[in-house]
Structure 1
């Protein structure tokens, strides 16, 4: 038994000894290398690799890995998303970047890589050493993402990160479409099952990752009209990670007296001043001269890096040449500051596999085959300096439809070639070139200058000599389309804006002129002096685009010249000529649809002329002025001009029957005639101008007062009753509206108690200067085109909720210097007193005319009296 018990142990020991011997023998052979985690990934036959000097990408099994060199930790980058393809181009424009690029950097803590948003909201004086530490504590870079290191490369010079979730997940900062409010409320539900990776590319300083992203989209307009409901949407997005240069561009501090786009507001913290200084940087490309010494000698020099635009191969063939010429015309302005061939235009390369129009490295002019009457020129910048890194010009197909309407309605009285359903090729090319040149101006950093066209005398626009030299405006960045002032008898007058205006060249000089040998303060002083020397000159004046508040009648869209009344008279005379001849001009329009569309747009054109004059009533000229230079920051429109404008619009509305040409309109479908429509909506706007008068009178030394306003309202709206004659249809509409308005104002309950309880209530006049639905449509203030599509429904909402309803939702107007917001006038608004006196005055007048009025007029007056009595009685019972 002992032997039996011991034997197994002996056998085990022997076996163990044999095993050790075998192992010992095997160790004498060449050891087998264990494959690293990095090799397992990159040497997998299914792994797709895009290798570059910056970051290398690996794509395997539906995942993307970034091979990130350690040396780039802490380096600043931009991460941007571009729409490459879409199943609905009304929601997603091809080539557009819906959101500003993310300014990021990567840092490492232990085994975790953090993606941080770089905080460049504040600067300090570098000579104050302690401020650097203060800034680091108070303006740290926030963490916006974290990634575990998947593995290191074999030489440990780089690490791999699984970045799949960033490119196939619902990343809000990179989403091509996202849920949100505004005029069109979008609800986009992300569909992860329909979202996958596509291609990867790597280059010297950037990488791109393409992915398909799917959503279920619903859309409501103003929260009421369902535009889409649970409709599928798939977008192919191209995301670019771009390494920013270590050598930053020299920034240029902006000046509010010149219209350029700016970076976000920054604050400068220094003991040099007793307060934190707020400033912005002008957005501009880096166009340093290639040969500085030659430039200093006054020679024309090419830039180190030109601005290159690539033209979409999707453009209709006829569009390509005007698109190219539009971009190149800006070289004239650069040549005047000593730089040549700054802008270059190239076609999409056919044989370059590295080219990608959606890569942040390439600036492109893109064509979108969508029925949107618009174009845009956005750009994206290095937030550190304002350097423009990338820009796109997006041209929607139906912008030519809008241009053709403009050309016909504004110039057909003098140009027979545009009296056709399809514009001649030369007119189409000319229009495309103008539109694209305007948008390229935006990509160079120029904002709209809505005051430019007001610099030229109206009668000069009828001069062949003047217009051939200067065009219709000092800036193509204004909305001054075509010459509607020119009369049929005028010969040789230029009908279009200039190639570039005086103001446009002035801005290019300020933005891009290289300055050498100057300190920062000396450079700032030099740039200010260039603006100072033109202070007070209307040709160089910058007028902000007015969207949120509309005070300044000299800074409007779609106007011409320095006298809105005179320009309106010329324009209306031309519209009458067009209406009278439209049937003869379109003999091939068998179903009348083309004429009906133009006729409707003619009503909008007439409305523009009326609105341009109407803005004089209670108007206030606004100008950015530096202390010590010419000009005033605000100045009321002279009272006589306000009165004349008020009376002019009333007379137009009382005599607008010329719009109803039965020989033309009888061929259209069942409809309400244009005169009462124009009269109703324009009069509604006009009767709200008393709110403008409150503020304008308050800031004027010689004001057009509320008393004078109501006297003019009485004398001209009730002129027929005063003179004892029958009212016209236009007068009846005006009278009904003004009585309804007076009744509403004098019976409205006091909000004083609510104001004391809630300071946000009862501010008054919040909508006084906001554009109406009709104004948004007429002036093209809606970038989506949806206001025009649903204008009838929106007008009904506007009547209930006020005209600011739509305007408040418009958020797509770019950025720059702050818009002029409304001024609260509650404390000085005594209009209710004047409405009460006005109502009594009208009541007495109508009572005195009842006996002598015919039956129709008597019924009209009795209706007005009933409304007035009801309002006055209600007030007396309080």
Structure 2
């Protein structure tokens, strides 16, 4: 065979050589003769040349030098200079997709968080009509029509069509007409708010970003098996405001935004209905059904699709691997020392999955170095991302299929200064008992176990678990000092609580565990409820009946109790962040002893700090920790325990804190306010520079919290059989605040602050305001509304920016409607309650004003010292001025 090929090649070469040299020896005349002969022949008429085929629209678009294309299993993207085209296969018309945006690179991580999905993605589909137009439509996934098919189609066509978002002219068909090409440049270079990569702020902070047209430029395009990505550079001017105050004005920001279009599965996961007695994130639904006489609102839980590879082995109780494990990738930008504790946090959850028959569900890897298919911006990869920012936080958001609640992808975002927060937590909460943390920098073993705890908490969110702020209140306070108890149970039944480290443990306690558990019994039960596979169940309704029975069995056992996080309303003292144990007064006593011990050793333990920067930060954390101990007890005053209870099972939905506990709590806080001078330790604070005494600020904050508790007392006494009445509350408050005048002793700083505070509260209460509210006084009559101080102390302001669990909340009316499956409806987030019709605060304050006038007139004359006389004279003057315009 090889010889034949060689012979053929030689023959061809010889033939070519002869053809080239055949005229080499001809004279010029001979050449001319030959040329003339050719010309003579050419005068004859030649046949017409065949016409060239017309260039297709497709080729005109893409046969240019500036054309770049990328093709995946889903669709093809084309970039031509500054234009972007999608080549969408007709088979995907009508298929549902998610379109969302993240930041991949930015010039300022305070405004943009790389890897964070700032907004809920659009749920869309493309439709093709009349061979000329492609429409992008929003999918009406919240609607569930549980009626017969013909009527359902009629209702949808007339009332619930998928609204059009954009219309695109068909620029071309591909060669076999199996796909259409549309120009989507504006979709990926525009500035639509729900596709913005810039953090919008939240709570007290608002961030607005104005794009610069000249700074917008298409960048990379990528295509994968079931999603495509487009990166665009944006230049912004950013303004940041806190309330009406401008903090940052027109700061420059450059962002590489990555917009992703993800094809949702054609075969959907079987959805699962929620039980409101467990804290699971949800996707809301609206239902029209002939089984009820009303439109219903319900929800589906958010969870990953977890199915066994070997269903038969699973049925037999054997451990099996899932068809699709939950795989995490750890950012290569993390410090190397963080990576191992992060991986431990992910794998920790396998112990819960193994108890329900699955192994190797949670898997974790480093960012691959040499895998061309890996891209952290590919939505198919769930990543744990590092953000070099001084934000002291971490979070775990996810994207779900709005039809079924299936979690499609998730992220864990960890900011650099979470380690600073851990450092402060460990020091102020455990330095009294743990010598390892008595340093400026935490030792590696302490930092590792703390990072693992923080990341495990966030991984819990990505698995679907909400915060359970009631968990830690189930353990007796004194049990937290027991080595045997804490080694078995940790500090809380759930790591989804904000129960940090064991601040109850005293210096002499030996062998006490100081950290939350790896996973608590509540966490493992929630995973069992959420992810157990039911091969025998025909549908979601049958599954729900089984799951409902599991929760029924746990009724009455407090370690399985779920209590919602309180943001808009704070009235349940058993569902607080940053607390431990079942008695906030007892836990506070232990905690305060420890803070005093730590304060007395602060200079001794933290020495390598020439500018006292670290000591000042620790000192501020000591003060904040003390303030939380006080506030944890303040919430008892007017407190109401809120528990979700199914009809027919034990327990009370609403139960006021006992009269005795409310009264004792008020007196406890007042006593603390008269005994907090230890905060002003001169040996510690003299290094910090000029400032007002911390005790003064704390006394003012706490006493104002006690005054504002009157709103809760109104509601609590209204529903109680043996109430702590508003009159009894104000009598106790009056006797505590004005004790110095009643007993005629010298006034202290605490006395002055509390007494000034009470007059300021009364003045604001009686301050006229327009409309009906003016008849009721200037203070809001909504019970449970948190103050700015409370939001800062408990991280509520930051939470609103980040998670918040309120994303799953419904309006008040929606929450009250049951669906036809019993418990499967949305969480009833408790809103502030307007108590104006039953509020007698103004009347009680008027009564205090009359008593106080008599008392002050007396003490203005016979106080034990001149300073006290002057103070009481000033208080009397303020009271008279305040009531001067009031006519009775």
Q: TM-score with structure 2 length normalisation?
A: 0.90
CA deviations on 1:484-510 (whole Å, 9 max, x unpaired) are: 000001000000000101111111111
CA–CA separation in structure 2 for the residues paired with 1:502 and 1:866:
59
Deviation at 1:539, TM superposition (A): 0.9
Deviation at 1:180, TM superposition (A): 8.5
Shift of 1:828: 0.2
Q: Within 1, Cα distance between the matches of 2:440 and 2:454?
A: 20
In 1, Cα distance between the equivalents of 2:109 and 2:622?
29
Say whether 1:599 aligns with 2:619. yes
Counterpart of 1:488 in structure 2 is: 507
Q: What's the counterpart of residue 315 of structure 1?
A: 334
Shift of the alpha carbon at 1:25? 4.9
Q: 1:842 aligns with which of 847, 852, 855?
A: 852
Q: 1:43 to 1:580 in 2, by over 3 A?
A: same
| 1:626-705 alignment, distance < 5 Å | 626-705=646-725
Aligned equivalents of 2:200 and 2:291: distance in 1? 45
Are 1:776 and 2:791 an aligned pair? yes
> How far apart are residue 109 of structure 1 and its match?
1.7
Quote the offset at 1:436 in angstroms: 0.5
Q: CA contact under 8 A between 1:182 and 1:810: conserved in structure 2?
A: no
Q: Indicate the structure (1 or 2) with the bigger Cα radius of gyration.
A: 2
* 1:715 matched to 2:735: yes
Who is 2:870 aligned against?
A: 859
- 1:153 lines up with 2:145 in the alignment: no
Aligned match of 2:807: 815
Distance in 2 between residues matched to 1:182 and 1:477, nearest whole Å: 22
Q: Provide Cα deviations, 1:744-768, integer angstroms capped at 9, x if missing partner.
A: 43x4337565789xxxx98963565
State which of 213, 216, 220 in structure 1 corresponds to 2:237: 216
Q: Does the 8 Å contact 1:169/1:192 carry over to 2?
A: no
Which residue of structure 1 aligns with residue 257 of structure 2?
A: 237
**Alpha-carbon distance in structure 2 between the residues aligned to 1:158 and 1:379:** 32
Match of 1:123 among 144, 148, 172: 144
**What secondary structure is seen at the aligned counterpart in 2 of 1:325?**
helix
CA contact (8 A) 1:740 1:867 kept: no
Partner of 1:175: 196
Tell me how far apart the structure 2 counterparts of residues 367 and 46 of structure 1 sit (CA, whole Å).
Answer: 36
Tell me whether 287-296 or 116-125 shows the greater mean CA deviation.
Answer: 116-125
Q: Secondary structure at the match of 1:394?
A: strand
Determine if the alignment matches structure 1 residue 99 to structure 2 residue 99.
no
Q: Offset at 1:664?
A: 1.4
1:374-523 alignment runs, 5 A limit: 374-519=393-538, 520-523=540-543
Quote the Cα distance in structure 2 between the aligned partners of 1:433 and 1:752. Answer: 54
Choose which of 342, 362, 366 in structure 2 pairs with 1:343.
362
Q: For residues 199 and 807 of structure 2, what CA distance do their matches in structure 1 show?
A: 20
The whole-number CA distance in structure 2 between the counterparts of 1:49 and 1:783 is: 42
Q: Is 1:295 matched with 2:314?
A: yes
CA distance in 1, matches of 2:163, 2:235: 29
- Greater shift after overlay, 138-147 or 521-530? 521-530
- Which of 375, 378, 388 aligns to 1:369? It is 388
- What is the rounded CA distance, in whole Å, between the counterparts of 1:58 and 1:280 in structure 2? 39
- The question of whether the paired residues in 2 share the 8 Å contact of 1:765 and 1:825 is answered with no
Match of 1:280? 299
Q: Distance in 2 between matches of 1:428 and 1:22?
A: 95
Is contact 2:138–2:163 with CA below 8 Å preserved after alignment?
yes
Seen in structure 2, the aligned counterparts of structure 1 residues 572 and 455 have a Cα distance that, compared at 3 Å, is: same
Partner of 1:16: none
1-structure distance, mates of 2:471, 2:177: 60
1:678-730 deviation digits (Å, cap 9, x = unpaired): 11111111111111100000011110001111221122222233223222221
- Mapped to 2, the partners of 1:103 and 1:523 lie a distance apart of 27
In the alignment, the residues of structure 2 paired with residue 184 and residue 865 of structure 1 have an alpha-carbon distance, to the nearest angstrom, of 40
Q: Secondary structure at the match of 1:165?
A: helix
Question: Is this contact kept in 1: 2:353–2:527, CA < 8 A?
Answer: yes
Aligned to 1:253: 273
- The answer to whether 1:829 aligns with 2:839 is yes
CA RMSD of aligned residues (A): 2.1
Measured in 1, the distance between the counterparts of 2:586 and 2:238 equals 49
Q: 1:428 to 1:729 in 2, by over 3 A?
A: same
Larger mean Cα displacement after TM superposition, 395-404 or 203-212: 203-212
Instruction: Map 1:616-631; keep pairs closer than 5 Å.
Output: 616-631=636-651
Partner of 1:869: 880
Q: Aligned equivalents of 1:754 and 1:430: distance in 2?
A: 52
* Cα displacement (A) at 1:479: 0.5
Return 5+ residue gaps in structure 1 as ranges: 1-20, 785-806
CA contact (8 A) 1:295 1:338 kept: yes
What is the number of equivalent residue pairs in this alignment?
Answer: 826
- Identify the residue that residue 791 of structure 1 maps to in structure 2: none
Matched residues in 2 for 1:335 and 1:185: separation? 44
TM-score by length of 1: 0.91
Aligned-partner Cα distance in 1 for 2:719–2:780: 16
What SS does structure 1 have at the residue aligned with 2:352? helix
Q: 1:591 to 1:216 in 2, by over 3 A?
A: closer
Residue in 2 that maps onto 1:205: 226
Q: SS at the partner of 2:327?
A: strand
CA contact under 8 A between 1:739 and 1:839: conserved in structure 2? Answer: no
Secondary structure at the aligned position of 1:422 is classed as coil
Q: Does 1:582 pair with 2:574?
A: no
3-state DSSP class of the match of 1:521?
helix
C-alpha spacing 1:563/1:181, structure 2 compared with 1 (3 Å): closer
- Structure 2: runs of 5 or more not aligned: 1-41, 809-826
